[in-house]
Structure formats: structure tokens, C-alpha cells
């Protein structure tokens, strides 16, 4: 990590100046004391926003209305619910999303054009509006509410996942905070990957949009493998501008450092999401080097990270490297077998197409690390990409074969 960027493991979406948040338990999920299922995140003043949404042709009305609202450029708050996806319920889904957003706007004292909505949970059931109507007024917003908000987006996740990073820009302290939810094997189960990023930096709108899109495609989209997008996937970023810097542009001298800090936060959150996937605890990176094009590198990285056989091998600490090579070859990115070198946590397994005898026990031990690294050097160019995956466990199957019943 950049020495001039501080990592704040206890940071949240309310670590940056100008944000408050809160959550409540309304009854959309089975009760435990620390469970929340309805939350609000608010920028106290107008802010600049960016969003990345699922490309699934089946979309939750919560996604569709939020996408439209974001285009208006006035959004500075989001209401979230978990337990019910508000997806595949016909027109009622739009009516319910509108009412929920209106209730949240009234509760926070902002205009209806200033708030959007994210839902996550089971597909095919209508939002329980009675619970939302009675629960929403209980949400207390505060600058300490980031952890509460992070809990309100969880479904089968085992724990809230938040963090923040801090850096200096033009002598001003800038903080970027975020939270995430995943689940499934990030072949999302309860239908969603949600990520919320906040910052008190001032960022010019077009630059924020381009930057957030780029960072999301290198992080969230390299864990949400396989184009396996859910009906509700959404990542939103809010920039309050409260830190006092001049608005960052692509040409700003400080833009690169801001990008690095944002990237580090989003990589961390993506890995956190994988570590918290159903049944999983071990994660791995598929790092592609020397590809002809970026797109080649991305395709190969994603193919390796999403291979069920690779995921199973990681679970069993099994240096079955043929599975990595086979997944790479079918990924749709260009490679030439006779030029490919493969390393597992730095140990050479294959050198330019030729398998190298390796000490099996050592590699098994290396694969017991909580994070395993597969590096493929293609020797064809300069392009690189990394995708992340998690182990596939028996618990995943048990959990997912008995989920609604």
C-alpha cells in the first residue's frame, strides 16, 4: 500500500466528513440482536455521485428507478433494504420502490429527487410495505451510523464489511469510506452485490463517473465473476466535497493518488466480500501478466477465478495446476501454450509451456495460506489483470440447496 495512504480498518461510509447514516430492524429477515434490514445513507449537503449497475436484463425496479434518478444529478442519499429483492413482482415493484423512497425522503427532510434505493434478498416476493412503513421512522441518522448502515445491506453475509482510507490532497485531509455485501460465491445468491463508497474529497462529476466505472471494473467486476450479475447489483459513490480541495479532474496532479487510494479501498472490500462468501474462508488471486491486450488479460483472469475446479482445488490445497491451465485456455483471451509460465505463490510450475518438476509438499503448504496467488505470465505483451475468487466448499452446496425451503 502507498505509504502516504492510511488504511483505517475501523472506517465506514460515515468516516468522510459530511455523511450520516442509520438503520433499523423492521422484520424482513429473521431476528437477531445485531440484525438490520432497512437503512439510510445521507450526504448532509448536495454532492457529486457516480453509479454502476447490473447489466442483467431482469432488473429490480429498485435498480431501474435509481438509475433514472442518478441521471438527474441531485441524488445525495440512498435507502436500502435487505431480505426482499423487490424483483420480478410486476408493476407493484415500482409502486413500492417509489413509496419507500418518498418515506425516506420525508424522514430525512430531503426532496424526492435526492434519494435513490437499493434492495437485496429473495426474488419474487413483494416488499412488505407495512413493515417498511412502521420501521422506517425508527432510523436514527448520525455521523457514527456507518456500521449500522453496513449491517442493513447484509443477507447471507456473516458480518458487516466496511473500511476507509485517508490521504492528504493540497494540505487537506481526504477520507474515502465504503461498505460492501456479497454472499453466494459471488455468483450472488440472495441476488446482489451492493457497494457504497463515500468521500469528502471534491471531485468533478465527469471525472468521478469515469474513475468509479474504471475502479469498479477492476475490483468489484473482477470478483463478481462470469458476467454472473444479479438482478440488483449496484455500486454507488458519493463525493461531498467537504474536505475543501479544489475539485479533482483527470488532469489534477493529485488525481493519481486519489485513484490509488480508491482502488486500494475497493480491492480490500472486494476481498472482504470473497472471504465472507457462503462456506468460504480462503481466497485466491488469478494474476495475468504479459498479455497482448487488457481484454485478453481480463478474460483469462476471470476464467481462472470462476472455475469451479480451481475453486475446489483451492479448498483442498491441491496443486492441480492443469485445471488452471485449462481454465486459462478456454477463457476467450489470446494465449500461446508454448509461451505460458505458471507460478503458484511464486513457485514455478510451468515455464514457457514446459512443466517443471516441483516439490509437491511445498506447494501444498503454500496453498494452505489464506490467500493463494496464481500467476500466469503469457510472454505476449504488457497487459495485466487480476481477478479474485474464493474456495468452493461443501457448505456452499448444503446452504444453497436448502435456501428457500
For its own copies, the closer of residues 151 and 299 by Cβ is 299
Q: Which of residues 195-224 bind its own copies (CB under 8 A)?
A: none
Residues in CB range of 57: below 8 A, 6 or more apart: none
Strand partners of residue 41? 21, 78
Asked if 328 and 376 touch (Cβ cutoff 8 Å), the reply is yes
Asked if 127 and 100 touch (Cβ cutoff 8 Å), the reply is yes
CA distances from 219 to 107, 159, 268, 302 (A): 34, 20, 9, 11
Residue 272 DSSP SS3: helix
For its own copies, the closer of residues 7 and 94 by Cβ is 94
Q: To which H or E segment does residue 131 belong?
A: helix 129-135
- From 129, 255, 347, 364, residue interacting with its own copies (rule: CB under 8 A): 364
How far is Cα 317 from Cα 370, in angstroms, rounded to an integer?
11
Annotate each residue in 27-56 with x if it binds its own copies (CB under 8 A) or - if it does not, as one string.
Answer: ---------------------------xxx
365 binds its own copies (CB under 8 A): no
Smallest gap from residue 63 Cβ to its own copies (A): 11
For its own copies, the closer of residues 109 and 357 by Cβ is 357
Annotate each residue in 145-184 with x if it binds its own copies (CB under 8 A) or - if it does not, as one string.
Answer: ---------------------------------------x
355 binds its own copies (CB under 8 A): yes
How far is Cα 155 from Cα 121, in angstroms, rounded to an integer?
6
Cα atoms in the Cβ-side hemisphere of radius 13 Å centred on 303: 20
For its own copies, the closer of residues 151 and 311 by Cβ is 311
312 binds its own copies (CB under 8 A): yes
368 binds its own copies (CB under 8 A): no
Binding span for its own copies by CB under 8 A among 31-39, 65-73, 200-208, 332-340: 332-340
Alpha helices in 189-317 (DSSP H): 205-218, 255-275, 294-306, 308-315
Annotate each residue in 89-128 with x if it binds its own copies (CB under 8 A) or - if it does not, as one string.
Answer: xx-------------------------------xxx----
Pairing status of strand 194-199 against strand 38-43 = unpaired
189 binds its own copies (CB under 8 A): yes
How far is Cα 288 from Cα 377, in angstroms, rounded to an integer?
6
Annotate each residue in 247-286 with x if it binds its own copies (CB under 8 A) or - if it does not, as one string.
Answer: ----------------------------------------
For its own copies, the closer of residues 30 and 401 by Cβ is 401
Binding span for its own copies by CB under 8 A among 152-160, 210-218, 283-291, 335-343: 335-343
- From 27, 46, 329, 381, residue interacting with its own copies (rule: CB under 8 A): 329
- From 67, 88, 293, 384, residue interacting with its own copies (rule: CB under 8 A): 88
- From 321, 343, 374, 388, residue interacting with its own copies (rule: CB under 8 A): 321
Binding span for its own copies by CB under 8 A among 8-16, 17-25, 229-237, 263-271: 229-237
Furthest CA-CA distance within the chain: 67
Strand arrangement, sheet containing 283-291: 354-355, 347-351, 341-344, 371-377, 283-291, 383-390
Asked if 150 and 245 touch (Cβ cutoff 8 Å), the reply is no
Comparing C-alpha atoms, which of 169, 139, 135 is closest to residue 262?
169
- From 319, 343, 377, 383, residue interacting with its own copies (rule: CB under 8 A): 319
For its own copies, the closer of residues 259 and 379 by Cβ is 379
Residues in CB range of 313: below 8 A, 6 or more apart: 319, 320, 323
192 is catalytic: yes
Annotated catalytic residue: which of 49, 87, 156, 192? 192
Rounded CA Rg of the chain:
21
Q: How many residues comprise the chain?
A: 405
Residues that bind its own copies (CB under 8 A): 54-59, 85, 87-90, 122-124, 184-185, 187, 189, 191, 227-231, 307-309, 312-313, 315-323, 325-326, 328-330, 332, 334-338, 340, 350, 353-355, 364, 392-394, 396-398, 400-405
Catalytic site residues? 192
Amino acid at each position: 500500500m502507498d505509504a502516504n495512504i492510511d488504511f483505517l480498518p475501523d472506517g465506514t461510509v460515515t468516516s468522510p466528513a459530511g455523511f450520516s447514516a442509520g438503520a433499523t430492524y423492521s422484520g424482513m429477515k429473521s431476528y437477531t440482536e445485531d440484525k438490520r434490514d432497512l437503512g439510510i445513507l445521507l450526504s448532509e449537503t448536495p454532492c457529486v455521485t457516480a453509479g454502476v449497475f447490473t447489466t442483467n436484463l431482469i432488473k429490480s425496479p429498485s435498480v431501474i428507478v435509481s438509475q433514472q434518478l442518478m441521471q438527474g444529478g441531485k441524488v445525495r442519499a440512498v435507502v436500502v433494504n435487505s431480505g426482499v429483492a423487490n424483483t420480478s413482482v410486476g408493476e407493484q415493484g415500482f409502486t413500492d420502490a417509489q413509496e419507500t423512497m418518498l418515506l425516506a425522503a420525508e424522514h430525512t427532510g430531503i426532496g424526492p429527487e435526492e434519494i435513490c434505493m437499493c434492495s437485496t434478498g429473495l426474488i419474487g416476493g413483494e416488499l412488505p410495505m407495512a413493515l417498511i412503513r412502521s420501521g422506517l421512522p425508527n432510523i436514527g441518522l448520525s455521523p457514527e451510523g456507518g456500521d449500522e448502515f453496513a449491517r442493513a445491506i447484509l443477507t447471507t453475509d456473516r458480518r458487516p464489511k466496511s473500511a476507509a482510507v485517508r490521504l492528504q490532497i493540497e494540505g487537506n485531509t481526504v477520507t474515502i469510506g465504503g461498505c460492501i455485501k456479497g454472499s453466494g460465491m459471488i455468483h450472488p445468491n440472495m441476488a446482489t452485490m451492493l457497494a457504497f463508497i463515500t468521500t469528502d474529497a471534491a471531485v468533478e462529476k465527469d471525472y468521478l463517473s469515469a474513475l468509479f466505472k474504471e475502479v469498479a471494473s477492476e475490483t468489484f467486476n473482477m470478483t463478481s465473476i462470469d458476467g454472473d450479475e444479479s438482478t440488483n447489483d449496484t455500486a454507488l459513490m458519493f463525493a461531498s466535497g467537504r474536505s475543501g480541495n479544489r475539485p479533482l479532474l483527470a488532469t489534477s496532479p493529485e488525481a493519481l493518488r486519489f485513484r490509488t487510494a480508491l482502488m486500494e479501498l475497493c480491492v480490500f472490500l472486494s476481498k472482504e466480500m470473497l472471504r465472507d462468501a457462503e462456506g468460504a474462508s480462503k481466497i485466491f488471486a488469478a494474476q495475468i501478466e504479459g498479455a497482448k491486450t487488457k481484454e485478453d488479460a481480463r478474460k483469462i483472469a476471470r476464467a481462472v477465478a470462476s472455475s469451479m475446479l480451481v475453486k475446489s482445488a483451492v479448498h483442498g490445497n491441491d496443486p492441480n495446476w492443469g485445471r488452471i491451465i485449462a481454465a486459462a485456455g478456454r477463457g476467450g483471451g489470446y494465449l500461446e501454450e508454448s509461451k505460458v509460465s505458471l507460478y503458484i505463490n511464486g513457485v514455478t510450475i510451468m515455464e514457457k509451456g514446459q512443466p517443471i518438476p516441483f516439490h509437491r509438499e511445498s506447494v501444498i503448504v503454500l496453498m494452505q495460506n489464506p490467500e493463494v496467488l496464481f500467476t500466469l505470465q503469457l510472454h505476449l505483451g504488457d497487459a495485466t489483470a487480476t481477478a479474485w475468487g474464493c474456495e468452493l466448499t461443501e457448505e456452499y452446496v448444503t446452504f444453497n440447496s436448502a435456501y428457500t425451503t
